[in-house]
């Protein structure tokens, strides 16, 4: 698979204490769509990312003390609560792992969901915890290797952003 090229632009929204940072990634071969819930979705729009693939990210509350065990427990509880409900036939959580890339902690877990229509979705979900910023990153596709390739392609761009310190201009 061709490597993904990323251009990164950071836009800071000023205002109340609740204002969140907005990050725009331009990733070759992907179409961007912003949800009302603050989640930014990228849908595969070319051969380089595999049809049916979706990657999303969202700024998260900055919890530097979050452990891999807490992260895994949360995702296992979600999977267990959703098994057999709605269209979900089964959900399995595997491969919890923690690593540090360029000073950013990455907690990640894999999920496999079997749907009532007989299809399967493979997911990698991660929390990126930088010095001052945190993001979630989720990669979904109908094939395990596509999910991993897409995840790693977006991960590098978000690692750079999560590792940046908040930069505010001094008041004059």
SS3 157: helix
Contacts of 139 (CB under 8 A, 6+ apart): 53, 54, 55, 123, 124, 125, 147, 148, 150, 151, 154
Locate 81 and state its tokens: 């609560």
Closest by Cα among 70, 62, 32, 30 to 46:
30
Residue 81's domain is classified under what CATH number?
3.40.1000.10
User: Residue 148: what pLDDT?
Assistant: 93
Domain that holds residue 152: 6-162
For residue 125, tell me if it sits in a domain: yes
For residue 169, tell me if it sits in a domain: no
pTM of the shown model:
0.78
For residue 170, tell me if it sits in a domain: no
For residue 66, tell me if it sits in a domain: yes
User: Residue 26: what pLDDT?
Assistant: 63
Domain tally, the chain: 1
Please give the chain's pLDDT, 172 residues, in tens. 333 333 222 222 222 223 345 455 667 778 888 887 888 888 988 877 778 899 999 989 888 899 999 999 999 999 998 888 889 999 999 999 999 998 899 999 999 999 999 999 999 999 999 888 899 999 999 999 999 999 998 898 888 777 765 544 344 4
For residue 168, tell me if it sits in a domain: no
For residue 11, tell me if it sits in a domain: yes
User: Residue 158: what pLDDT?
Assistant: 83
For residue 63, tell me if it sits in a domain: yes
For residue 122, tell me if it sits in a domain: yes
């Amino acid at each position: 698979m061709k490597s993904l090229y990323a251009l990164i632009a950071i836009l800071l929204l000023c205002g109340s204490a609740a204002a969140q940072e907005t990050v725009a990634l331009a990733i070759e071969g992907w179409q961007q769509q912003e949800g009302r819930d603050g989640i930014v979705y990228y849908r595969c729009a070319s051969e380089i990312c595999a049809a049916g693939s979706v990657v999303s990210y969202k700024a998260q509350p900055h919890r530097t003390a979050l452990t891999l065990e807490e992260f895994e427990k949360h995702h296992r509880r979600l999977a267990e609560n959703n098994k057999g409900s709605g269209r979900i036939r089964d959900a399995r959580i595997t491969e919890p792992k923690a690593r540090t890339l360029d000073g950013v902690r990455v907690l990640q877990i894999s999920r496999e969901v079997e749907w009532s229509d007989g299809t399967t979705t493979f997911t990698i979900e991660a929390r990126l915890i930088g010095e001052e910023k945190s993001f979630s990153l989720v990669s979904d596709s109908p094939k395990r290797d596509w999910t991993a390739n897409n995840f790693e392609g977006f991960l590098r761009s978000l690692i750079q952003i999560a590792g940046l310190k908040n930069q505010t201009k001094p008041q004059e």
